[in-house]
Structure 1
Amino acid sequence: MNCSACSPDLAIPSAGYLIIDSATGESDTLPYKSEHHLASLLEECNKRADVQHLRAALTEDPGLPTAYSSFSYVFERVVSKETVDIIMEGDFSSFFQPIIQMESGQIFGYESLLRHAQPAFTPYKLFDTAIKTGLQSVLDRRARELAIIARSKSVKRGIKSFINFIPSSIYNPAHCLQHTFRMVKQYRVSPEDLIFEVVETEKINDIDHLKSILDTYRANGMKVALDDMGSGYSTYEVLEHLKPDFVKIDRSFISDCHNDSEKQSFLKNVQALAQDLSITVLGEGIETAEEFTFLQSIGIALGQGYYIGKPAPEPASGHLLFA
């Protein structure tokens, strides 16, 4: 089973040859003198009308057998090299964003969020580049590791940790998740305090594969959550099929919900369905007192957002004081 987390990195010679191979079998061999020169050549090739059908290879000797990759893969690896280097070797940490019980204001848990020492490398930029360069498994696994380590140092037993994961980074759940399960044991984290959350950084096409991932987490004593309910793949049908322990409402339905009857209807329907399926609902992206009050009034159990608390390097404790 090929896993990009276990695959060797693309070798980028500081000087050499860029070989472009088209769908018609025509090939161009372009010498380059530096990585900057290589990036310029790739930028120029990226303007070609047939770019989607191109293959590319990098080599120091065009006379030797060459391993081709898709052009887009080589392009992203080179032009985004600084970000790729950060993904492979960057100084990351795991921040905590509080999640509270809506009725009492008491801390229920924290979402673990990956952060880099340089703010310019935002989580979106990092994960977007990771997906384009086939490194999502590397970054996703790193985020899980840091979340478990940070939790072991700062969060007491009984308080939950929501840890994100990208389904496409897990090819074979029984194999790919063993490292995570070993980390949980190594750092003496209670499995029942961990909630692994599917994030929609990409389209989910294989629901059965996703179900096998969720079942693997559950078989190891952990709980699971679906993110972005109401957006993309998170539909009523998927909710019924997967029956996660938690579901997060997409923030687009939270924003200004107290003034929008369509959003209110959607939120009430999700709450009713989740209650029937014994799923706990979490409203995320809560930014105002009015949004909070409406969600609380219809029985949404958990809340998260800047109104409650921003991500921070240390977990908030006790009862949250709202802005």
Structure 2
Amino acid sequence: MGCDACLPIRTGYTVSFQQSRDAKKLEKYFKDISQNQWKTLGEDMIWMREDIFWDFMDYVHQHLDPRHVWAVEAKQRSPFENLRRMEPITAFQKMKDALWIDELIEDKRICSYYQPIVSVNHERVHIVGHEILSRGLEEDGSIIPPFKMFEAAQIRNKTFALDRACRLEAVKNASIIDHQLIFINFIPTAIYNPEHCLASTFTLIKELNIKPEQIVFEVIETEDVQDIEHLKNILNYYRSHGFKYALDDVGVGYNTLNRLLEVEPDVVKLAFEFTNGVSKNEKQKKVAQEMLAITHRMGAQALAEGVETKEDLKCLIEMGYDLFQGYYFAKPNPKPLKEIHSIYV
């Protein structure tokens, strides 16, 4: 079950020819293509399914003048709806180059990596949970970094579908983590209606017998959140079902310290920009201390991510941070770690 935003739905394009003779040349091109995949819209306009459109672009570049062929995305039942937004067909090259993300989502070529989240008590490191990080898979099994996936998804308007696919894969792979916190990322702008958009996620969690109190849904791209009421609606929906939630990359972008009071998260993650080198930078220390004070006043836990050195870790421990994450403890792994060795605090 899903809407057009979160599932890969086939669409199409309305194509206009500024030179009528170009349209006539296409009779031979379309003669072997099934009629249910395209239709004429008068003498100088054609609607065609998306998969036909991408091959058609190659034909235009080889046999016509691309400057005189314009197009716009449109559904078959309303091919004239977006004519004012038509662009030269050359403008769609980036979308064509990003087509691989559609196949990746449909083929579910997504895997999970695990990075431990730890507490430090009496100079001993304890794993309290893992953040599940999504990676794409090439057809040969090689890894596609997340930024590349979401960059392509944004171009193809598939951010919603990719976020959903990554979230479901993370939940599926969370079942091997026992009695620890499980941090799962989500993009709030990819969720229109929590009750509808999160139904498949909640169903899978229940089927896998994962305890709701283990799950911490982590808001990523925090600085891009414009509709705070919509975010609060999503987070309240999570909490009403027994889940926790965290804010990621706090301190970056907008004035997140003030917004913390509005959404009341269970965990607040100080951004890498303020943890890396914090032991030697007074401005970073000030931000870290302010965020810590607000977080603790709310009764939430403060997590410092991106910890890479012993000096920074000691500094953050002395400030009073509760949880830590970063390469100093472990890089993301294909399997969750059971314990961490050779760490000196």
TM-score bucket of the superposed structures, by smaller chain = 0.7 to 0.9
Distance 2:259 2:212 in 1: 25
Change (3 A) 1:247 1:113: same
Give yes or no for contact 2:172–2:208 (8 Å, CA) kept in 1.
yes
Q: Specify the SS of the correspondent of 1:102.
A: strand
Structure scoring higher RCO (CA < 8 A, sep ≥ 6) equals: 1
1:218 aligns with 2:215: no
For residues 22-171 of structure 1, what are the structure 2 equivalents within 5 Å? 34=55, 37=58, 56-57=72-73, 65-66=79-80, 68=82, 76-103=94-121, 104-118=124-138, 119=142, 121-152=144-175, 154-157=176-179, 159-171=180-192
Q: Distance in 2 between matches of 1:306 and 1:273?
A: 26
CA distance in 1, matches of 2:245, 2:341: 25
> Counterpart in 1 of 2:326?
305
Deviations 1:79-118 (A, max 9, x none): 3112332233242111111110133410010001111233
Q: Which deviates further from its counterpart, 202-211 or 239-248?
A: 202-211
> CA 1:81/1:102 → structure 2, altered by over 3 Å: closer, same or farther?
same
Give, in angstroms, the shift of residue 18 of structure 1: 3.7
Q: CA RMSD in A?
A: 3.4
The answer to whether residue 19 in structure 2 is matched with residue 19 in structure 1 is no
Q: Is contact 1:87–1:130 with CA below 8 Å preserved after alignment?
A: no
* Structure 1: gaps spanning 5 or more residues: 22-27, 49-53
SS of residue matched to 1:149? helix
Q: 1:102·1:300 contact (CA, 8 Å) conserved in 2?
A: no
Distance 2:11 2:222 in 1: 23
Q: 1:24 is matched with which residue? A: none
Quick check: which has more Rg, 1 or 2? 2
Is it true that 1:241 corresponds to 2:262 in the alignment? yes
State the number of aligned residues.
301
Name the counterpart of 2:31.
none
Alignment of 1:282-301 (within 5 A): 282-301=303-322
Cα 1:20/1:308, change in 2 over 3 Å: farther
CA drift at 1:9: 2.7
Structure-1-length-normalised TM-score:
0.82
> 312-321 or 1-10, which moves further after superposition?
1-10
The Cα shift of 1:11 comes to 4.2
Distance 2:17 2:72 in 1: 5
Which stretch shows the higher mean deviation, 131-140 or 276-285? 131-140
Structure 1 residue 320 displacement after superposition? 4.5
* Partner of residue 9, structure 1: 10
* Identity level (%): 30
Q: Quote the residue 2:30 is aligned against.
A: none
Write the distance in 2 (CA, Å) between the matches of 1:201 and 1:277.
18
Among candidates 177, 198, 203, match of residue 224 of structure 2 = 203
Deviations 1:129-187 (A, max 9, x none): 212322122111111111111111x2112x00000001111001121111111011111
CA contact (8 A) 2:113 2:132 kept: yes
Structure 2 unaligned blocks of 5 or more:
19-43
Q: Secondary structure at the match of 2:336?
A: coil
Matches of 1:314 and 1:269 in 2, distance apart?
Answer: 35
Normalising to structure 2: TM-score of the pair?
A: 0.77
Matched position secondary structure for 2:128: strand
